[in-house]
Amino acid sequence: MSALRQQGARVALLLLLAMVSIIGAQEATPRPDPCQAFENVEINLGFFIGRGDAYFTQNDLTQAAEAYTCAIELDPDYVPAYVQRGYVSYVQRNDPQALADFDRALELDPNSTAALNNRGMLYLSQGRFQQAIDDFDRVIALAPEDPLGYHNRAVVHASEGSFDFALDDLETALSLDPEYAEAYATRGAIYLAMANADYTEYQTLKGRDANLQTGNPFTMLNGLREDRLIDGFGTWLALLVPAREETP
């Protein structure tokens, strides 16, 4: 073997050994513990809740849930972490996990309006209207000056087609906070649904050519027509407003 070939073989061998060393080092490096705690427990709880909120804002629901779980592992009685992790599961449509977290939060604090509110949202998403109403009733009883409970209870009433009850709740919500934007959005949707129902009756009475002088109102109502004419309630879910526990 020529000297040049021998030198090339040595270089190749050294490169191969270097690659093996790098791979071995990578395999030996453990995955950082996502729940590594600070010495100060209170600071650590706030850190994990903040991390979870940041991941949730970025729509990284897996890491958001992991961060809230870290807070729970650090303090198994920490209600805000259960409320937030439950809401992540609600968004992911992992209903059993969401319900378990909301129930656990309420075992620890039966007066947690955030857990009650978000569990009410979960019940409504499952079509369990009375249970949703019961939870929002409790939210209102515990926080009668907060418009949130009235607003979300109005959404349940609207989902059932009980528009008068819904409008009464929204009037109360807006009397408590005239700048509560979500209540105006929900009230507008209810007015459109009512107009939709009225125009459907108008068509029934006047026949297939029943258009108003300005044309067919379904041009304006198209977004509401299908779901709400067949007694569906899925469209209303987007109007619900979540709640959260105060954190340190």
State whether residue 212 is helix, strand or coil. Answer: strand
Structure tokens given for 68:
């809230």
The tally of CA atoms less than 13 A away on the side-chain side of residue 94 is: 14
pTM of the model: 0.75
CA 144, 130, 192: angle at the middle one, nearest 5?
80
**Domain 14-110 CATH assignment equals 1.25.40.10:** yes
pLDDT (tens digit per residue) in 168-194? 999 999 999 999 999 999 998 898 888
Name the average pLDDT for the chain: 82
Name the residue among 130, 97, 101 with its Cα closest to residue 114.
101
CA distance 62 to 81: 15
Q: Please, are residues 63 and 69 in contact by the beta-carbon 8 Å criterion?
A: no
> What is the C-alpha separation between 162 and 227, in angstroms, rounded?
16
CB 182 within 8 A of CB 151: yes
Q: Are 79 and 245 in contact (CB under 8 A)?
A: yes
pLDDT at 26 over 70: no
Q: What confidence score (pLDDT) does residue 229 get?
A: 44
Indicate where the chain has its CATH 1.25.40.10 domain(s).
14-110
Query: If you classify domain 128-248 with CATH, what class do you get?
Result: mainly alpha
Tens-digit pLDDT profile for residues 153-168? 999 999 999 999 999 9
pLDDT band at 215 (very low <50, low <70, confident <90, very high): low
- Reduce the DSSP state of residue 74 to 3 states and report it: helix
